[in-house]
Amino acid sequence: MTEEATRTAIEAVWRLESARLLGGLVRVVRDVDLAEDLAQEALVTALEHWPAEGIPKNPGAWLMATAKNRAIDSLRRRRMLERKHDVIEGDAFASTVPTLDVERTIDEDVGDDVLRLMLVACHPVLSTEARTALTLRLLGGLTTEEVARAFLLPEPTIAQRIVRAKRTLAEARVPFEVPRGAELSARLPSMLEVIYLIFNEGYAATRGDDWVRLDLIEDALRLGRILACLVPSDAEVHGLAALMELQASRSRTRVGPAGEPILLLDQDRSRWDRTLIQRGLAALARAESMAQPLGAYTLQAAIAACHARARASHETDWPKIGALYDALVETTRSPIVELNRAVAVAMAFGPRAGLEIADALLEEPSLAGYHLLPSVRADLLSKLGRAAEARAEFERAASLAQNARERSLLLARAEGCIVDQAPPKVWS
């Protein structure tokens, strides 16, 4: 194997094993920064040895063993220093490292390690932006540079965000433990939110030149699948997994040869990934069997399932989708969900009924700069033959859109004011 091929293989191993490795180290050293340093040292060691010695049969175990030895050395050094401080200060209670057999502790069952790391990275004490960046860094196996690319922000900005997140966790004395029962349930929404934020940025990028980011979609799917295995008793965990699987099934049909967006009703459904659809439908069935009433992610997954089950766009059960949006609005009280409902109602009962709902949102403060409100109104106005108004709304939507591909699509529709064009991307 060439040196370049070996490096590529090491990067792949790191992406797969880093979360478990970091989770195990956090459990022992109880310090996110130190755990990450130890994991990075193990990676550097691999980069030094594997090109000449070959990749081990079990590379994950090799990395864990290397990091384990460094963790043991680090804990012993820390304990020795603290014992010296105890002697100097005469304080028998000064040590912050409990008496334990570090070799035994680091080899204990690691079933909760990844969940523990996820809980730490998604802790509510952090801002949403910090949680998302730290999750990609610690659980996605991304470098700071890769996280910066994901957010389309300068690397120093992301580096500072991650450093501040770690400092906040340390200052808040966030416990490195897996809560149980009601406490775990209370922490899950934060984790689900972060995973879905990552997925959405991949599925419909808010900035930049690319409409779809398959790398972020894959990261979010992997995190969702991990969480579903770690917390199998929570319906919304399975609801989110179902939603992402079903939406991801369309990913490769959402862009054309030149990277241009292809809207839902124009997509070639024969190219939708049937394996992901089956996975999503199975996760949805599990979520629906576990909870009544259904949660927000499960309701959204049920909407996605209506699209997945329709082999052609004209077979879509729009009245059912409208009813599901009714329930979702009741659950979330979200103006964005209400805008999505306007599209579903328009498809089921005509553009005038949908426009009435969209017009009622014009005074909603949270949608003042949201480009999809004028985009939806423009589409419905064009279907009603009000071309001049539609053109103005398409142009306004384009001025607010931050994604270059989406802006181009909206400007093209403004230019032509095509009356029979498929609805804009809202639930695509």
pLDDT exceeds 80 at position 65: yes
Task: Give the model's pLDDT for residue 80.
Answer: 66
Q: Note the pLDDT tens digit of each residue in 309-361.
A: 999 999 999 999 999 999 999 999 999 999 999 999 999 999 999 999 999 99
pLDDT band per the 50, 70, 90 thresholds, residue 276: very high
Helices (H), 30-127: 32-53, 59-89, 102-106, 113-121
% of the chain beyond a pLDDT of 90: 44
**What does each C-alpha distance from 21 to 59, 233, 375 come to in angstroms?**
11, 25, 45
| Tokens 């032509």, located at residue | 416
* The pLDDT of residue 413: 92
**Confidence bin at 428 (pLDDT 50/70/90):** low
Q: Decide if 87 is inside a domain.
A: yes
In a domain, 294, yes or no: no
Tell me if 391 is assigned to some domain. Answer: no
141-152: pLDDT as tens digits = 778 887 887 776
- Closest C-alpha to 67, from 44, 49, 50, 48: 44
Query: Which of 224, 216, 271 shows the shortest CA–CA distance to 244?
Result: 224
Give the mean pLDDT of 5-18: 77
pLDDT tens across 389-407, in order?
999 999 999 999 988 889 9
pTM of the model: 0.75
Q: Stretch 54-63: mean pLDDT, rounded?
A: 84
185-227, pLDDT tens digit by residue?
888 888 898 899 889 888 887 767 777 888 889 888 988 998 9
CA pair distance 45, 39, nearest whole angstrom: 10
For position 86, what pLDDT does the model report?
53
136 located within any domain: no
Q: Which pLDDT does position 111 carry in this prediction?
A: 52
What is the number of domains present in the chain? 1
Confidence band of 122 (pLDDT split at 50, 70, 90): confident
Q: pLDDT band at 11, cuts 50/70/90?
A: confident
pLDDT in tens, 414-425: 998 854 444 554
Place of tokens 């999503």: 280
Q: Which domain holds residue 15?
A: 3-110
Residue 116 CB neighbour total at 10 angstroms: 22
- What pLDDT does residue 294 have? 94
Measure the CA–CA gap between 398 and 408, rounded to whole angstroms: 7
Enter the tokens of residue 118: 């996820």
Q: Is 90 exceeded by the pLDDT of residue 287?
A: yes
Q: What pLDDT digit, counting tens, does each position of 228-259 carry?
A: 988 899 999 999 999 999 999 999 999 998 88
Give the model's confidence band at 81: pLDDT under 50 very low, under 70 low, under 90 confident, else very high: low
Q: Is residue 131 part of a domain?
A: no
Average pLDDT of the chain to the nearest whole number: 85
Residue 71 has pLDDT above 70, yes or no: yes
Q: Is residue 64 part of a domain?
A: yes
Taking residues 271-278, report their average pLDDT.
96
Residue 8 in any domain: the answer is: yes
**Separation CA 206–CA 247 (nearest Å):** 17
Q: Which amino acid is at 353?
A: A
Q: Tell me what pLDDT residue 202 has.
A: 85
pLDDT band, residue 109 (cuts 50/70/90): very low
- Alpha-carbon separation of residue 138 from 33, 106, 147, 222 (angstroms): 10, 19, 10, 13
Give the model's confidence band at 82: pLDDT under 50 very low, under 70 low, under 90 confident, else very high.
low
